Amino acid sequence: MSGNGDAAATAEENSSKMRVIRVGTRKSQVSLARIQTDSVVATLKALYPGLQFEIIAMSTTGDKILDTALSKIGEKSLFTKELEHALERNEVDLVVHSLKDLPTVLPPGFTIGAICKRESPYDAVVFHPKFVGKTLETLPEKSVVGTSSLRRAAQLQRKFPHLEFKSIRGNLNTRLRKLDELQEFSAIILAAAGLQRMGWQNRVGQILHPEECMYAVGQGALGVEVRAKDQDILDLVGVLHDPETLLRCIAERAFLRHLEGGCSVPVAVHTAMKDGQLYLTGGVWSLNGADSMQETMQATIHVPAQHEDGPEDDPQLVGITARNIPRRAQLAAESLGISLATLLLNKGAKNILDVARQLNDAH
């Protein structure tokens, strides 16, 4: 056999021996979940050319129950449970999620091993074709706006009392189709990052800034969930951590966890990192937006360069493991979230949240 033949045979042999990393994702053809997973896998492939990545798609509870508002289903791990079962059974090695879908307390045995650089965390308004060029403010009286989120509905009802808000479910494709084809909605509210990732920026008619509508905890960021004890995979995905996004999201998740918020209550945040200061604004609303409470706090946090060594001890913070980011910065971010939640609870936020939860359960 010629030298070339030997080399080809060896290359073929090596490729068949390449370690395969199995990546779990939610099932659906041109879905946001798949696009997000593909983008993370592309980054990992570039970082680890010696590894093979196989994508395994599966349906989740949230994908199957499409006729009920998310806040009514009462299941914290709506879009994650089946994927976590696959992780647990060793059928996949990692799962890519929208970070806002991941509860602040993960089931035992799992951790978020990476939080990728955040895209726009804001909400966007997509208008029915006949209202293109309008804003929420200039929509006609009693126009119906679709959103699957209590957080958006509560804030926007307060800000735009001339509008009516109604639940709309389904993936992005389905919601856009419902908007365009049924004459039911004048506009719908979606996460700007999702529209961006799908390449549908041209449908965005208005971006909602924090003074109009603060965003969900973790919105715009992707989280990579892995087995907490799988050191190999933790090391593999850990390089994806974006330090600023990580610290902002630790503060946001600590705030939500301490408030004991979730899908069934309107809680929203806004974070910014400037000149070594992390600013966190958090708010809670009654379901109709009439009652609300929000505060801002800040903490001095050194945003580390990637790969700066942190201490070896490694308990998770709000479900996240980040060994390559100094522990001190992570703890300061967590402490900021807890302090802000404590401030709001001391001022009576618990009452607003309890009533919102009861009303949501009753409907």
Q: Which residues contact 196 (CB under 8 A, 6 or more apart)?
A: 119, 120
For the chain, the residue count is: 363
Bridge-based pairing of strands 277-285 and 292-300 is: antiparallel
Neighbour count for residue 78 (Cβ, 10 Å): 18
**In the annotation, is 101 catalytic?**
yes
Q: Considering the candidates 6, 38, 67, 101, report the single residue annotated as catalytic.
A: 101
b/e per residue, 37-68, with b = 16+ CB within 10 A? bbebbeebeeeeeeeebeebbbebebbeeeee
Helix axes 327-346, 349-362, angle to 10 degrees: 80
In whole angstroms, what is the distance from residue 338 CA to residue 343 CA? 9
Which residues neighbour 354 within 8 Å (Cβ) at sequence distance 6 or greater?
none
**Sheet containing 20-26, strands listed edge to edge, beginning at the edge strand earlier in sequence:** 52-58, 20-26, 94-98, 222-227, 110-115
Catalytic residues: 101
